[in-house]
């Protein structure tokens, strides 16, 4: 079950965290992975790790907010692999602040990556999928797209857009062989969390990590691998009847 053999999977933000876990798991399940990241070193590293495990992967440096770069990257992927079966729009950036403390530049930066990036990659991948007769788009949203979270104004705005883009793509292409869903995680332990703690709580990282973990009803943060396993299901043929849905994976956060 959940094999991706002979499928080409494009994973954005594959160089760390959730993207790294998804790219590696998909390769283990037989997919040919195209790893995209703005950080060329990080993209190269995940592709090398996949190949070291016996999988197939290529890497591409790409600024997902740049329409020319995105179009050229997907042209290169199609030229190399002849198809795109799966697109995982995972890349994203976080931000902390209310509407009063969010500057116009910060707002635009969040929108450029988290919304425009999803739009451009989907716009580039879907025509390739249509030529192949089928495809799956999986977007990374957040529980912030479903409920209000304190001091997450701009981030919530972008993830709300991802959620509605997901449903729109699902409706537009349901008769044309393309499924589209999104995942809505709560707090996941990624390098971003470690960097945030180091920058904001120097010397108190372990204490604040415990505080953030305890804030989850289940008593811990999620892991990138747990998100990757849900992504695998949604991109597999076993989820062939699933489209237009938002899947929470939140340690009980929305059950309260």
Instruction: Give every CB contact of residue 127 below 8 A, 6+ residues apart in sequence.
Output: none
- Whether 163 and 247 have beta carbons less than 8 Å apart is answered as no
- Whether 173 and 126 have beta carbons less than 8 Å apart is answered as yes
Which DSSP state fits 236?
S
Angle in degrees, CA 186, 187, 193, rounded to 5: 155
Q: Which residues are catalytic?
A: 155
Query: Can you state the percent helix, strand and coil of the chain, rounding each to 5?
Result: 50, 15, 30
Q: How far apart are CA 251 and CA 185, in angstroms?
A: 9
Q: How far apart are CA 153 and CA 155, in angstroms?
A: 6
């Amino acid at each position: 079950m959940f094999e991706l053999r002979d499928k080409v999977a494009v994973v954005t933000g594959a160089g760390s965290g959730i993207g790294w876990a998804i790219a590696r798991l998909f390769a283990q399940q037989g997919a040919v992975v195209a790893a995209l990241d703005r950080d060329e070193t990080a993209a190269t590293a995940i592709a090398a790790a996949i190949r070291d495990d016996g999988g197939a992967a290529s890497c591409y440096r790409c600024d997902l907010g740049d329409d020319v770069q995105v179009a050229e990257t997907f042209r290169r992927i199609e030229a190399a692999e002849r198809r795109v079966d799966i697109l995982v729009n995972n890349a994203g950036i976080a931000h902390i602040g209310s509407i009063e403390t969010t500057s116009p530049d910060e707002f635009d930066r969040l929108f450029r990556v988290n919304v425009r990036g999803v739009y451009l990659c989907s716009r580039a991948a879907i025509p390739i999928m249509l030529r192949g007769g089928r495809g799956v788009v999986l977007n990374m949203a957040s529980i912030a797209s479903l409920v209000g979270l304190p001091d997450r104004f701009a981030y919530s705005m972008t993830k709300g857009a991802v959620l509605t883009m997901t449903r729109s793509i699902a409706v537009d292409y349901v008769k044309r062989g393309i499924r589209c869903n999104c995942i809505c995680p709560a707090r996941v332990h990624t390098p971003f969390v470690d960097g945030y703690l180091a920058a904001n709580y120097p010397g108190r990282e372990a204490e604040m990590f415990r505080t953030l973990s305890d804030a989850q009803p289940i008593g811990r943060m999620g892991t990138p691998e747990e998100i990757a396993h849900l992504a695998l299901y949604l991109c597999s043929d076993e989820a062939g009847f699933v489209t237009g849905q938002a899947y929470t994976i939140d340690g009980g956060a929305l059950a309260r």
